[in-house]
Structure 1
Amino acid sequence: MKKILITALSAAITFLAAGSASAEIEETRSIKTATPPLLVIVTSEDAQVQLMSMVLTMQSAQQGADTRVLLCGPAGDLALRDAPSSVTAAQPPKNMSAQGLMKTVMQKTQTQVEVCAIYLPGKGLDQSALIEGVTAANPADIAKVMTDKYTKIASF
């Protein structure tokens, strides 16, 4: 009886271990083949840097990345309805503005765009100053994204 119980217990342990290893291998495979989430943090006031950050965000989203953009400091101006000409002026080579491409990225890729939580209060503004679809970031949500082991972070 003891021998039968030990054999059955040993078989059950082997079966469970094989199932666990198989699930771990499958999880690893799906992680390696999926494009990791991308958090793009833009702080630069330079128009070319802002535009290039949107170009790379668009390209990443089109290649399957789950993209999210956080605009802080001078880059927060990209999100303003009444934006300065520095973010709305067309730039070569495609005569596109950083704000214009950001809007396209939001519409075509479902990229979430947020301004830093302190941006609006720092400017003496509220949510109504932002273009449609842009919101103020929740620091706890951004921190969760930043600390996720699969998130890639690009800073401009």
Structure 2
Amino acid sequence: MSPMVTSAQRTYLEVTEAAGRDFVQRGLQGPVVMLNLLKYRQVADYSAHPELAPSTPVSGEAAYGVYMEHTLPLLQKSGGSILFWGRGAPFLIGPTEEAWDAMLLVKQASVESFLAFASDPAYLAGVGHRIAALEDSRLLPLTEEAVPGMVPALDPGGA
């Protein structure tokens, strides 16, 4: 019998079928921003994608850099853009045992454009670099909303 995996030990590198279905069924309208939290491996693990492995071992961060070099032109072609890329640290408010190496905000025009990008064979050809690079990750779809309590700016050309 295999040992039980607790939520503290579980890692998330790829979308599950259920999570993908729920994402589509939410019926989000308009632009979608994806919050990516990234935890790099010390050494990239290309065992699931040996065809992409470099000739000598590289860090997870370096492998993620290769993934981004592959992905960025495809993201831009799909109409997507990177809004923010930042280095992570331990939380100011949050669990002390949880820390992320990097954070990324990626904007797509719609759920449909995100799905088209994520299922593009050219993109999928390099996604193994992401899997090799990361020890753990989170991907949270976000939509823009008005800030509670703020009055929308008046149209200077309007009434």
What TM-score, normalized by structure 1, do the two folds share? 0.22
Structure with the bigger percentage of strand: 2
Q: Which has the higher contact order (CA 8 A, sep 6+)?
A: 2
What TM-score, normalized by structure 2, do the two folds share? 0.22
Structure with bigger gyration radius: 1
